[in-house]
Amino acid sequence: IKDEESGYNKNLFCIPKHYEEDLERVFIPHGLILDRTERLARDIMQDMGSHHIVALCVLKGGYKFFADLLDHIKVLNQNGDKSVPITVDFVRIKSYC
C-alpha cells in the first residue's frame, strides 16, 4: 500500500459499534487479507514440498492470523496429492524490543 493511499470509506464495511468512533477509514479490507493469507498458504505448501512443516505462533497478537493460515494449509494438505506432517507450537514474547 502506498503512503498516499486513501483507503476505503468506513461506511462500506460492517464496523462494530465500539470501533465506529475510533476508525476513520479502512486501508485493507478483510476479504483481501483472507485472500493473501490463502495465497501465502499455497506458497508455503509449494516451497516446503514434502518436508515437515513446523508452524510457530507468536502469542498473543498473531493467533488469529496463525489460525487462518493453518486452516488454509490444512485444506491444501488434505486436498493435495501428498500429505505433509505439520507440527504446531506457540511462543510468548515478553517484549518486541
Q: What CATH number is associated with residue 50?
A: 3.40.50.2020
Q: Which of 55-59, 71-75, 81-85 has the lowest mean pLDDT?
A: 81-85
Asked, for residue 80, whether it belongs to a domain, the answer is yes
Number of separate domains in the chain: 1
What is the domain range of residue 44?
A: 28-90
Other beta carbons within 10 angstroms of residue 59's beta carbon come to 11
Domain assignment present for residue 76? The answer is yes
Percentage with pLDDT > 70 across the chain: 97
DSSP state of 93: -
Contacts of 91 (CB under 8 A, 6+ apart): 56, 57, 58, 59
CB contact at 8 A, 70 and 88: yes
CB 49 within 8 A of CB 81: no
Q: For residue 49, is it within any domain?
A: yes
Q: Where on the phi/psi map is residue 7: left (φ > 0), alpha (ψ -120 to 50), or beta?
A: left
Question: Would 95 be classed as within a structural domain?
Answer: no
Identify whether 75 is part of a domain: yes
**Residue 84 within a domain:** yes
In a domain, 71, yes or no: yes
Question: What's the mean pLDDT when you consider all of the chain?
Answer: 87
Interval 31-55: pLDDT, tens: 888 999 999 999 999 998 889 999 9
**Mean pLDDT score, 59-68:** 87
Neighbouring residues of 23: CB distance < 8 A, sequence distance ≥ 6: 10, 15
In a domain, 15, yes or no: no
The reply to whether the predicted model has a pTM over 0.95 is no
**pLDDT of amino acid 97:** 61
Q: What pLDDT score was predicted for residue 72?
A: 94
Is 86 within 8 Å of 55 (Cβ atoms)?
Answer: yes
